[in-house]
Amino acid sequence: MEHHDCAATTDALLALLNATALTVGDGDRPAGAGWQGAAGSSDFVGYVVLREIPGGFTRADDRGTITSPDSDAQTFYELLSVGVTRQQSQIISSAARNALIGQRPTVTGRSIQPIAVEAYGGTERDDTLKPGEPAEFVTSDVLRVSSTPRAD
């Protein structure tokens, strides 16, 4: 495979996250996450959601070959860590980042460089939930995944 395979790369990142004790979502809130009963009066299971986001690019300048200038790719992934408190959200965020930063996941046909932080997005209180439900806190981090073709 010469060009970046979004699905295979995302699957490789999800495998790394799923190897932790975190509750992990693939683009959406995972089953069993969030409030376990009535919001505010039951346990809250914090979670992280991984999603590829716009902004990735290929390098057609000095990195790709003449016959395949778009074969080197950088893609960006967002980790959305959700907790019922700021602290819970940030603890989940740290654990998710630590599971990925510096890793070189295996993707057929690609050589993945160590995963790096592109941006620490900070933590925000989410008050957009149903009226009467307690707020949740969301920490957003953006990771950079760079890859080049590799003969397998």
Q: Per-residue DSSP letters for 56-107?
A: EEE-TTTTS-SS-TT-SEEEEEEEEEEESSHHHHHHHHHHHHHHHTT----B
Return all residues near 67 (Cβ < 8 A) that are at least 6 apart: none
Which region among 11-15, 70-74, 87-91, 142-146 has the lowest average model confidence (pLDDT)?
A: 70-74
**Model confidence pLDDT, tens digit, residues 119-145:** 998 999 988 777 778 889 999 999 999
Delineate the domains of the chain, giving CATH numbers in brackets.
6-149 (3.30.2000.30)
Return all residues near 7 (Cβ < 8 A) that are at least 6 apart: none
What average pLDDT does the segment 55-76 reach? Answer: 67
Give the pLDDT of residue 135. Answer: 86
What average pLDDT does the segment 18-25 reach? Answer: 98
Higher pLDDT, 4 or 124: 124
User: Which residue bears the tokens 């979670």?
Assistant: 47
Asked if pLDDT for residue 1 goes beyond 60, the answer is: no
Asked if pLDDT for residue 62 goes beyond 70, the answer is: no
Q: Which residues pair with 52 in a beta bridge?
A: 77
What is the reported pTM?
A: 0.88
